[in-house]
Amino acid sequence: FAPWDDPDAKPLIQFKNVTKRFGDFTAIDDLTVDIFEKEFFALLGPSGCGKTTMMRMLAGFETPSDGTILLSGQDMAPVPPNQRAVNMMFQSYALFPHLSVWENIAFGLRRDKMPKDEMGARVDEMLRLTRLEKFARRKPHQISGGQRQRVALARSLAKAPKLLLLDEPLGALDKKLRQETQFELMDIQESTGTTFVIVTHDQEEAMTVASRVAVMDHGKIVQVATPDAIYEAPNSTYVADFIGDVNMITGTVRAEGAQLRMTWAEGQPEIVGETSKTFGKDQSVHFAIRPEKVSISAEKPVDAANAVQGQVLDIAYLGNISTYHVQLPGGQVIKAQTANNRRISRRSFTWEDSVWLSWTATAGVFLEQ
């Protein structure tokens, strides 16, 4: 499933040079992006970057100051919110407290004067989809938070929208339930084939559920790609930093080409790495490497493309993994992560141990900014 790689695929949603200004503040800045049918598309970014504004424009609660938004090729500007094949599920769920679960789900269908039989069948289908059959007669205060979340989801899917917008849908749930619910959301999205656009602060959540993740900064999408591409090949230090944990080393290009060499500290060996980007000699450059790509050993590894010596400063044991903070002679601290997936037969390291950190020539990426 990768319609974004197919030049013939028709996007469900197109943002074309969309700008949204509030007074003289630009919340969305000349943004262009396509979202495809059946995608689970995540908008990720710090508070105030414009995620909710994008959703509100899709729903029709805000109109772009410039540019166009198309749904199935049709300009949405003249279409009022209630006539769009779009629904939005709010973080607060906004359930009616005095109505039963069944009536909450039926609400929009009743308002649309759907025939009784059809409505009954549709609500029952939604109850099955969200595993709420047993709770149909209860009121919202008689069910759990996770169940309320599912009622809100069932209600927003009842009218079979082409596009469902989810603004922090799991924000009210605790971590464990949140993780379980992420998988339920993915199942429901897949079985209904509805396009989902989700806003979340939680990068792990975005990585888990999304077909593609759009990372936003100040009203722009700075990278849009599959979760693994965003993680393995971030296009800027901003994205590398925003997603997951990263070591960032700043230096200067010494030798260009597919094998780039970067100097970065007095007395330290050059960092050697492969790159498909072009950098100029003497250009300032950043090297980004994920902690789990850095190996830690007592002896200097033979044949490693990169090896530096340092001293263990801190160790965080997290059960499945351990993270070592290792200080290099110049003062830079590098994080190295090891998987604790076998009984520790090798020597493990302790505070102030002298250790070697090493990584391959393809373990990290060079970034301009």
> In angstroms, what is the minimal distance from the CB of 69 to ligand ATP?
15
Beta-bridge partners for 289: 247
Residue 52 binding ligand ATP, by CB under 6 A: yes
Instruction: Say if residues 306 and 297 touch (Cβ distance below 8 Å).
Output: no
Q: What distance separates the 2 farthest-apart alpha carbons in the chain?
A: 79
Can you give the three-state secondary structure of 307-356, one letter per residue?
A: EEEEEEEEEEECCCEEEEEEECCCCCEEEEEEECCCCCCCCCCCCCCEEE
Q: Which of 2, 9, 32, 48 binds ligand ATP (CB under 6 A)?
A: 48
DSSP assignment, residue 113? T
CA–CA separation, 97 vs 104, rounded Å? 9
Report which residue type is found at 31. Answer: L
Q: Which of 13, 14, 39, 51 binds ligand ATP (CB under 6 A)?
A: 51
> Residue 331's CB: how many other CB atoms inside 10 A?
7
Binding characters for ligand ATP, 298-327, by CB under 6 A (x = yes): ------------------------------
Stretch that binds ligand ATP, among 11-19, 48-56, 149-157, 226-234 (CB under 6 A): 48-56
Binding characters for ligand ATP, 159-198, by CB under 6 A (x = yes): ----------------------------------------
Residue 61 binding ligand ATP, by CB under 6 A: no
> Residue 194's CB: how many other CB atoms inside 10 A?
21
> In angstroms, what is the minimal distance from the CB of 218 to ligand ATP?
9
Residue 200 binding ligand ATP, by CB under 6 A: no
Residue 44 binding ligand ATP, by CB under 6 A: no
Count of positions on this chain that bind ligand ATP (CB under 6 A): 12
CA–CA separation, 197 vs 330, rounded Å? 45
Q: Which of 40, 41, 53, 205 binds ligand ATP (CB under 6 A)?
A: 53
Q: Which of 3, 50, 60, 227 binds ligand ATP (CB under 6 A)?
A: 50
Stretch that binds ligand ATP, among 45-53, 98-106, 310-318, 354-362 (CB under 6 A): 45-53
Residue 24 binding ligand ATP, by CB under 6 A: no
Q: Which of 18, 33, 35, 49 binds ligand ATP (CB under 6 A)?
A: 49
Instruction: Say if residues 217 and 186 touch (Cβ distance below 8 Å).
Output: no
Residue 27 binding ligand ATP, by CB under 6 A: yes
CA–CA separation, 109 vs 143, rounded Å? 23
> 68: which residues sit within 8 A by CB, 6+ positions away?
14, 16, 17, 18, 75, 76, 77
Q: Which of 2, 9, 10, 22 binds ligand ATP (CB under 6 A)?
A: 22
Residue 47 binding ligand ATP, by CB under 6 A: yes
Report which residue type is found at 212. Answer: R
> In angstroms, what is the minimal distance from the CB of 75 to ligand ATP?
22
Q: Which helix (H) or strand (E) holds 129?
A: helix 116-129
* Binding stretches for ligand ATP (CB under 6 A): 22, 25, 27, 45, 47-53, 201
